[in-house]
Amino acid sequence: MASSEEVRSPVATQILDGKSIAADVRKQVAAEIARIKGTHPNFQPKLVIIQVGDRKDSNVYIRMKTKAAEEVGVVFQHIKLPRLTTEDQLLSVINDCNNDEDIHAVLLQLPLESDHNIDAEWCTDAISIDKDVDGLTVFNAGRLSRGDINNCTIPCTPLGSLELIKRTGASIEGKNAVIIGRSKIVGTPMSQLLIWNNATVTVCHTKTNDLPSIVREADIVVVAARQPKLVKESWIKPGAIVIDVGINSVPDSSKKSGFSLIGDVDYPEVLGKAGWITPVPGGVGPMTVAMLMKNTLQCAQNILEKDSAGTGWSLRLLPLALQDPVPSDIDVARSQTPKPVTELAKEIGLRIDELEPYGRDKAKVSLKVLDRLVDKPDGKYIVVAGVTPTPLGEGKSTTTIGLSQALGAHLGQNVFACVRQPSQGPTFGIKGGAAGGGYSQVIPMEEFNLHLTGDIHAITAANNLFAAAIDARIFHEKTQSDKALYGRLVPKVKGQRVFSPIQVRRLEKLGIAERDPDKLTPDEIKRFSRLDIDISTITWNRVIDTNDRYLRKITIGQSTTEKGYTRETQFDISVASELMAILALTTDLSDMKERLGRIVVASSLTGQPVTADDIGVTGALAVLLKDAIKPNLMQTLEGTPVFVHAGPFANIAHGNSSILADKVSLKLVGKDGYVVTEAGFGADIGMEKFFDIKCRASKLQPNCVVLVASVRALKMHGGGPNVTSGQPLDQAYYEENLPLLEKGFSNLQKHIENACSFGVPVVVGINTFSSDTPKELELVQRLSREAGAFDALICSHWATGGKGAKELGAAVMRACTTAENNFHFLYPLDIPLKDKIRSIAVNIYGASDVEYTSEAEERLGRYESQGFGHLPICMAKTHLSLSHDPTRKGRPTDFVLPIRDVRASVGAGFVYPLVGTISTMPGLPTRPCFFDIDLNPRDERISGLF
């Protein structure tokens, strides 16, 4: 007698058409990509498939994926490696893809076809978890197994199979599901996917007993066994959903190819029994490709969301163990254990491929981060400047770090501090380091104050290569005929002469159209070969990062081999090199190369500017500086991030840290975050140059100025006794004297007025010393507010860290968000150089007029005629007075500003008038800092830095 099942009427099976459903999925992916591009124009998902060998079936699958990628708008790259590829070579390619930020999704096409043993699982696991588009790494598999399905990539075939099941309209929850096959690619992830969709799942395999009876209980059957027609009609529960993942090639003489593709399910038999069934081909296959496109989009979206997130960082803050009295700076620094720089980088949203660690505590950051975050809004931009300081300094660097610690560790804001790298000269001379002080420092202090990552050494090497090239060129022009000189400049190599790219640029500059070196006329050869440098106009000096007074004037060329060519020149300290100013003002590698090429080192005998391009050294300089251009990541004592980058001299250059450090940090903090950057010397120098030079180059707009003042400095400006570095303070600075303080406030008042004249709100930070009295501090607060400051706060960050600058931080936040801001430059660029100089002298310094030496007049005329009149002005004057005279304190008036000479840093992009005598090579004092600096050979601990 027949069973009831056998006499049951056939089911009207519905076909799950994978082709049409896949087309719908691809359409959705394409629409989503177009939608995101509407708000993020640079959004472009990119998929890379890596293939080893030349398997025909793999080639077919890759062609299908290529077509789908083109259809939805995904950039597709196929990396096809030969059979000779080794495991190490494959891993290297995978690593390159992981580190390429333009690539969002990476797939290793399996199986691999290599003549060498390659561990496919090991190589698959090498794919970055964020780019594992097929969800096959152990990390994604682990997340899926524990149900973290919203935080992992699901393998494409199971994901496509799930989508097919959902398209039936049937509920998965509570259903019995049977998976035939337990592979890592399909069976296992499919079972987990159905479990987390609330099905009751049984996984069957080759060791399963009585497989048909188990399958008969299933509402959902997924078959991935690689056995043709394994599943028969008698196995299927009427109305069940059958997903056939198998694809098998079987002989078929009726086909032109000689074979047919069939699944693991006996399709003709089951067709009348199942409720839904997928055909083979045309079922799961197209869905796998469609889900690959969907996963690629999701990988790209995940990265975009991370990059665009405006949420706060999750910093592991470092607690301070405050002591009273405060120990030495180096002892304070050593009392704190910094976080690994890799941990800090992860906390602030940097990718591992954007970080280049230099040991445990410092790292360079790739400029690629700017491309990744190009659509992310910038944070708030704060510049820290100061009153005209005493020779002891008033704590501007310490306030920069203390304010950053306050905003990050105590007010919960995303914040970056950006400071200059200190020169070795003052570190071993008289000033000491520049890492801040007390409980507001950059750590590790030793790393900060010594070599860091070698940027200053790179500047030194590049500068001196350039200097050597200039003198060598003069020597060779003096000792060779036109023909011999040209023959060496454009030598024959294997019988042919070829102009190098930089020589082509010189031809273009000279207006010579011929590009065949053998066809230049004698006149063209002479013009091309001879720079005819006027030795009296050379402005490029050699540099060294040491205070060495005996290098202030030297004679070069005294060897007999130089054939009588000698000249007087000098050494500057390395941070005074124009290359350092360029490093601080450049915006990317291309911009740096252009600036380097524009450097003017002299004039020719006919008055034409001689540039780095003319010397032929531009590319070599760029090579030496290619790593120095990347900002250096460090941290404060409380674990907030710091960029330490560039260190231009604050008088003959602009004295600010790099534009690139500011730009990267503004992106990393996000629109609600803060970047605190320091300007060197008093506000009349550093702040004015920050606005009129740095902000012009960066196109960044400041939100707030913090002016650092101290009672000590204001008393000095009121007529107090001289303050001398290395000498004890006079007793007058330890006694309350309100009239003296009020008189000296005129200096701070002028700086407040200057800052307000740029249209930016000003917050005064009063850096306290133990000798300050409450009445003195209250007086400075009141007078500052009356002078136009947005607010004035008393700060104790040196003694208490960020906690001591918390009120200052809160005021800065209010100023950035509520105060009126109408930022503008002091002068336009299209007025004559003299008018720009006068504008600074009269409006910022308070001078009544400007006077020029004949030499300064001659230089200004030359620079105007050479086309440099459009450049901004970088005044080089003393930092110890608003005037040119360091003895005139307070707020000098009725003085004429003398311009002794004028120089041009054309590559950096400014003209710098010399006001009085400016030394670019400091000397060592009688007792330099190095008397106290020592190294313990047992534990390599450094002592004596401060």
Enzyme catalytic residues: 65
Helices 522-529 and 482-489 pack at an angle, to 10 degrees, of 70
Q: Please report which residue ranges of 599-658 form alpha helices under DSSP H.
A: 612-615, 618-625
Element (H, E) at 501: helix 501-510
Report the sign of the C-alpha dihedral through residues 535, 537, 540, 541, in that order. positive
Cα distance between residue 499 and residue 525, in whole Å: 12
Cα distance between residue 186 and residue 179, in whole Å: 9
Instruction: Give the tokens for residue 119.
Output: 């561990």
Q: Which amino acid is at 397?
A: S
- Please state, in angstroms and as integers, the Cα–Cα distance from residue 50 to each residue in 63, 111, 114, 159, following that order: 13, 11, 13, 21
Cα distance between residue 606 and residue 157, in whole Å: 75
Cα distance between residue 242 and residue 709, in whole Å: 78
Closest CA to 368 of 555, 100, 603, 89: 100
Closest CA to 576 of 287, 921, 184: 921
Instruction: Give the tokens for residue 674.
Output: 């803060």
- Please state, in angstroms and as integers, the Cα–Cα distance from residue 79 to each residue in 96, 141, 695, following that order: 12, 25, 44
Q: What are phi and psi of 96, to 5 degrees?
A: -60, -40
Cα distance between residue 628 and residue 455, in whole Å: 5
Residue 350 neighbours by CB under 8 Å, 6+ apart: 365, 369, 633, 668
Element (H, E) at 806: helix 806-818
- Please state, in angstroms and as integers, the Cα–Cα distance from residue 177 to each residue in 183, 437, 822, following that order: 16, 67, 67
Instruction: Give the tokens for residue 242.
Output: 């059958």
Helices 18-39 and 156-167 pack at an angle, to 10 degrees, of 110
CB 126 within 8 A of CB 325: no
- 3-state class (DSSP) for residue 577: coil
Residue for token pair 């300050």 = 772
E runs forming strands in 411-491: 415-419, 436-437, 440-443
CB 683 within 8 A of CB 753: no
Cα distance between residue 359 and residue 244, in whole Å: 53
Residue for token pair 């059957």 = 221
- 3-state class (DSSP) for residue 646: coil
CB atoms within 10 A of CB 337: 9
What is the β-pairing status of strands 220-223 and 554-556?
Answer: unpaired
Cα distance between residue 629 and residue 661, in whole Å: 9
CB 235 within 8 A of CB 271: no
Cα distance between residue 858 and residue 856, in whole Å: 5
CB 18 within 8 A of CB 287: yes
Q: Please report which residue ranges of 147-259 form alpha helices under DSSP H.
A: 156-167, 187-195, 211-215
Cα angle value 613/616/622 (rounded, 5°): 80
The DSSP code for 54 is: -
| HSE of 769, CA atoms in CB hemisphere, 13 A | 19
Q: What are phi and psi of 544, to 5 degrees?
A: -155, 145
Instruction: Give the tokens for residue 782.
Output: 């009141």
